């Protein structure tokens, strides 16, 4: 099995700090740059699973880089370079403490809440009589808080965001505008590849007075895709949609009686399951990007990552 990137602990030139997220290790370089290493860790239900998924970090990093390049006419973004298949280096922004989630369809967690009787998501009213995987009349924006150090984000309404002063009204209007335009662009690119962009999230930050798109976009960790071919037939029959997203990992965990709740035990991740997940991530890459995925050499992968980031920093500050 290919070597996975599970944990990094580097000491780069001019490094100020290291933030270890569920999936990404983010190195603060001189309070000016961020070096983001996308690991092969995988999380679900706010729990990091015990085994890494080979090539997952490369898939996520390369999809995000392509979509950042494809949307920079809509909003400037943080990306400066991708010196390694698993690494993006970019501008360090002051992040907004909210994530902008946009949903085109009633599915996933929104459907699970709807099925239990909820008719409101983050202050947005949802009509009665909807079915699983049904398209909303228009995409809805359902933000969450962005936890600084913890792993738990909370649903929040636009009104609460403004009342709590998390984002001012002028900036929030811009965030909503960018979110809608990015989702439209992502949907058009997906449709061209025979996919439906079902829902996704965006994160933003500021440098001075300018808003930047940060982090990843349109990856299988941050987004859900359906195959367009057969969508209507499956919907009419009440069948599950064929999809490319991390939802299949959540479904596997639920089948094994795990939803991240206290007292539940993580099921064993067999090598067969890990390889299947890896293949699904590669499938999404090849489908959404429209080109063959080239697996990076994983021999001494940590040394490779460290060298590529160090070389970029030394060149930048030469």
What integer pLDDT is reported at residue 146 of this predicted model?
A: 82
What are the CA-CA distances from residue 143 to residues 113, 122, 150 (Å)? 16, 7, 17
Res 221: pLDDT: 85
pTM for the predicted model, two decimal places = 0.91
pLDDT number for residue 147:
66
- What CATH superfamily classification does 95-245 receive? ATP-grasp fold, B domain (3.30.470.20)
Q: What is the pLDDT of residue 246?
A: 81
Q: Which tokens in the block code for residue 142?
A: 């359902």
Kindly report the CA angle at 144 between 143 and 146, in degrees rounded to 5? 130
The pLDDT, as a whole number, for residue 132 is: 97
HSE, side-chain direction, 13 A CA sphere, residue 97? 16
What string of DSSP letters covers 18-69? EEE-SSEEEEEETTTEEEEEE-S--EETTEE-SS--TTHHHHHHHHHHHHHH
11-31 per-position pLDDT tens digit: 999 999 999 998 999 999 999
CB-hemisphere CA count at 13 Å for 191?
6
Locate the domains of the chain by residue range.
95-245
CA dihedral 276, 259, 124, 147 (to 10 degrees): -90
Residue 261, both tokens: 């709740």
Single out the residue of 155, 174, 158 nearest to residue 166, CA to CA.
Answer: 158
* pLDDT score of 150: 47
- CA–CA distance, 79 with 215 (Å, rounded to integer): 9
CA distances 260 to 177, 230, 254, 271, Å, are: 34, 32, 9, 22
Ramachandran region, residue 122 (left: φ > 0; alpha: ψ -120 to 50; beta: rest): left
Dihedral pair phi/psi, residue 172, rounded to 5°: -65, -40
Query: How high is the pLDDT of residue 1?
Result: 60
Tens digit of each residue's pLDDT (9 = 90 or more) over 290-301: 999 999 999 999
Nearest in space to 78 (alpha carbons), one of 63, 93, 98 = 93
pLDDT at residue 152, rounded to an integer: 62
Which parts of the chain have pLDDT scores under 70? 1, 147-152
């Amino acid at each position: 099995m290919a070597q996975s990137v599970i944990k990094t602990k580097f000491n780069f030139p001019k490094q100020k700090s290291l933030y270890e997220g569920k999936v990404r290790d983010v190195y603060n370089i001189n309070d000016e740059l961020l070096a983001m290493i996308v690991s092969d860790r995988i999380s679900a239900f706010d729990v990091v699973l015990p085994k890494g998924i080979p090539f997952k970090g490369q898939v996520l990093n390369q999809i995000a880089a392509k979509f950042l390049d494809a949307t920079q006419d809509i909003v400037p973004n943080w990306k400066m370079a991708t010196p390694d298949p698993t690494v993006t280096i970019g501008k360090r922004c002051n992040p907004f403490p909210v994530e902008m989630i946009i949903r085109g369809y009633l599915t996933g967690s929104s459907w699970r809440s709807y099925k239990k009787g909820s008719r409101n998501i983050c202050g947005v009213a949802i009509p009665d009589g909807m079915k699983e995987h049904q398209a909303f009349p228009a995409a809805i924006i359902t933000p969450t808080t962005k936890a600084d150090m913890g792993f738990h984000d909370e649903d929040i309404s636009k009104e609460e965001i403004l009342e709590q002063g998390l984002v001012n009204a002028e900036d929030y209007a811009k965030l909503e505008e960018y979110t809608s335009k990015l989702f439209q662009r992502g949907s058009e690119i997906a449709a061209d590849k025979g996919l439906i962009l079902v829902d996704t999230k965006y994160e933003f930050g500021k440098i001075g007075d300018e808003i930047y798109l940060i982090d990843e976009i349109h990856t299988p960790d941050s987004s859900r895709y359906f195959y367009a071919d057969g969508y209507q037939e499956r919907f009419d029959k009440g069948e599950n949609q064929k999809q490319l997203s991390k939802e299949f990992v959540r479904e596997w965990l639920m089948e094994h009686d795990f939803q991240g709740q206290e007292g539940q035990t993580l099921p064993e991740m067999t090598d067969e399951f890990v390889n299947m997940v890896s293949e699904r991530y590669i499938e999404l890459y090849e489908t959404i990007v429209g080109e063959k995925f080239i697996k990076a050499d994983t021999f001494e992968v940590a040394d490779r990552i460290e060298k590529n980031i160090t070389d970029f920093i030394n060149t930048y500050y030469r």
